[in-house]
Amino acid sequence: MSLLEIIGGIFILVGSVFLFLGGLGIFRMPDVYNRLQAGTKATTLGAMSVILGVGISQAATDWTWILKTLVIVIFIAYSNPISSHALARAMYKRKKFPLVKSKAENMDAYREIIETEKEEVKS
């Protein structure tokens, strides 16, 4: 293992841990805005780290990998915040406000939101 492969392996490990934390945030968080926060920021950092790690660890044998991985990183860096911003704006326009109360009230407000969603679907 050369030095570049060790550095790339560290990048890949850190990125995959951040991808796992993004999935855990999707699984555990209570409402839409928290899920957006956890699922978009953590996975953006994780994907960029994994892709750069692959480019760095392959750079000694073939230097064109680092250019292609840089292009992918640039496209992820502009496309992923756009989608998360559009989704948060749509949820805000539908009067789904963030829930900052205690836990019992939190769940009551969340059930109200689900009921209104069902009524909207029916209409």
Partner 1 sequence: MTYIIYIALFFMIAGLTMSAFRFVKGPTAGDRTVALDTLTIITVAAMVLLSYVFQRIIYLDVALVYAVLGFIGVIVIARYLEGAL
Q: For 62, phi and psi rounded to 5 degrees?
A: -140, 115
**Residue pair 16/47 in contact by the 8 Å Cβ criterion:** no
94 in helix, strand or coil? coil
Among residues 10, 74, 64, the alpha carbon closest in space to that of 44 is found at 74
DSSP code of 123?
Answer: -
Among residues 23, 118, 30, 40, the alpha carbon closest in space to that of 80 is found at 40
Distance between CA 115 and CA 101 in Å, rounded? Answer: 19
Q: Is 99 in the site for partner 1 (CB under 8 A)?
A: no
* Minimum distance from residue 15 beta carbon to partner 1 (Å): 7
Q: Is 23 in the site for partner 1 (CB under 8 A)?
A: yes
**Residue pair 22/46 in contact by the 8 Å Cβ criterion:** yes
Q: Is 1 in the site for partner 1 (CB under 8 A)?
A: yes
Q: Is 83 in the site for partner 1 (CB under 8 A)?
A: yes
- 82, 102, 103, 104: which one binds partner 1 (CB under 8 A): 82
* Minimum distance from residue 98 beta carbon to partner 1 (Å): 12
- 89, 100, 101, 112: which one binds partner 1 (CB under 8 A): 89
Residues in contact with partner 1 by CB under 8 A are 1, 5, 9, 12-13, 15-17, 19-20, 22-24, 26-27, 32, 35-36, 39-40, 43-44, 46-47, 50-51, 54, 57-58, 62, 64-65, 68-69, 71-72, 75-76, 79-80, 82-84, 86-87, 89-91, 93-94, 96, 110, 113-114, 117
